[in-house]
Amino acid sequence: MMRLRSSIDRWGLVARILHWGMFLLFGVTVFIGFYMVDLPRGFAKYQVYSRHKSLGITLLVLAVMRWLWRLIDTAPGRPVMPRWQSIMSSAMVAALYVVMLVIPLSGWLYNSAAGFPLQWFGYIHWPALLDANPSIKVIARQVHEAAVYIFMGLLLVHIAAACKHHWVDRDDIMRRMLPFR
Amino acid sequence: MGQWLRRVLIVWLSVVVWMLPAHAVAPLYRVMKSQSALSFIGLQQGDKFTGVFKDFDATIHYAATDLPGSSLDVVIHLPSLDTRSLERDQALISAEWFDVGRFPDARFRTVAIRQTTSGPVGDADLTIKGRTKRIAFPFVWKPTAGGATLDARVNLNRLDFGLGAGEWADAGIIGHSVEVVVHLVLTAVPPVAVPAAQPTRR
Ligand code: HEM
């Protein structure tokens, strides 16, 4: 039977769906983000920006759900590993959890400071964080981009670590998060 | 022509000349730009946004008692548009919207002003992006010490002027109706004394 909650040796269904769902959505959103900024001004650019923002807001909501679920759920235990590895692992996870919030939050802040309205996929009105503000706009823009690069760096380490566990240490760290067994 | 007839003619002409500047046009007013605003309220993705045109010139002649001699003539310099969003401003001045490269000015000019039960209404030709449309322009005129204020709200359909046609025509993205809000603070310009037009009294 599929388990929603995690157990000692396996991530539950909710955790796995959030993990892989966000992985895919993040990929799409980052791709659109880099692609859209160089588009010539016009309707197409406007539409692509709107999609990017809606996807980003979706990721923000998912990130908040993931935070909450992580607090409710009990994560599987760690195999025995050196102390430095255990500290690094906790730091990595903490950093990922922070940056996955910072990216969409800074995007939302940027959009608000730029004085732009936002509707989630054209259906739900999404409020602005503050009034148009040129100086906050510049900062939020830089944070948004920097956070994406930091996140991609963290992700690289994260994936490398998963692969090392799977193929070098031959433990089940990777397998227990895989979507299917 | 007899002497008497000539005198009558001279007096009559003098009176006509004296009355001409006073009655061909109503008194002139100048806009106090720092206290006035020419703004508009649009709808973008269901959210209201406000824009202003910071630069415009207005020639206003008005007297409630002389509507045929009254007129409002405003030239709006479109590149001075400001909607509190750099991206939106850049989009609005581009070819799909105001196209300020080809049409830097919009013009509003009354052809007549009539009195209605709810106040004066101007019938005006509004030209934006090379397209002229006759609109009704009801306004409130309040005399003040040394001048007057003029307030008006009019709804325009942006598509009437080819603003955001084609793909942008979708009202869900940018609403069709745009409310223009006019608030002008005016000072009366004293009539210029023209010596030749002074009455010759005997
Ligand atoms: C986790 C979600 C998000 C990811 C991964 C993401 C990623 C990106 C990336 C990679 C760029 C391109 C940066 C560059 O090349 O300079 C970008 C730009 C942008 N993002 Fe996001 N973004 C996210 C969420 C959001 C949200 C929620 C909003 C707004 C509500 C937003 C608004 C923007 C805007 C407006 C730009 C373009 C900035 C410009 O034109 O200069 N993003 N984003």
Model confidence at A8, pLDDT cuts 50, 70, 90, reads: confident
Which of A36, A41, A130, A137 should be substituted to probe chain B, the one whose Cβ sees the most B Cβ atoms within 10 Å?
A: A41
Q: Residue B111's domain spans which residues?
A: 21-188
Which residue of B45, B90, B173 is in closest CB contact with A118? Answer: B45
pLDDT along chain B (202 residues), means of 10: 75 65 77 95 92 96 95 97 93 94 97 96 97 97 96 97 90 93 95 58 52
pLDDT in tens, A36-83: 999 998 899 999 999 999 999 999 999 999 999 999 988 888 878 889
Q: Domain holding B174: CATH number?
A: 2.40.128.110
Residue B178 lies in a domain: yes
| Predicted local confidence at residue A76, as pLDDT | 85
Quote the number of domains for chain B. Answer: 1
To test ligand 1's pocket by mutation, which of A18, A36, A60, A110 has the most ligand atoms within 8 angstroms of CB?
Answer: A110
The predicted model gives A15-22 an average pLDDT of 94
Mutate one of A48, A119, A130, A136 to test the B interface: name it (highest B CB count within 10 A).
A119
Q: Is residue B196 part of a domain?
A: no
How many Cα atoms within 13 Å fall on the side-chain side of residue A58?
Answer: 18
- Span A157-167, mean pLDDT? 91
Tell whether ipTM is more than 0.90: no
Q: What pLDDT was estimated at residue B198?
A: 53
Average pLDDT over residues A95-103: 97
Query: With contact defined as beta carbons under 8 Å apart, do B76 and B53 qualify?
Result: yes
Tokens coding B27: 């008194």
The partner residues of A107 in beta bridges, in order of sequence, read: none
Q: What single letter denotes the amino acid at residue A171?
A: D
- What's residue A95's pLDDT? 96
A52/chain B closest Cα distance in angstroms: 15
What CA–CA distances, in Å, run from A80 to A88, A92, B33, B178? 14, 17, 75, 67
Domains of chain A: 13-177 (1.20.950)
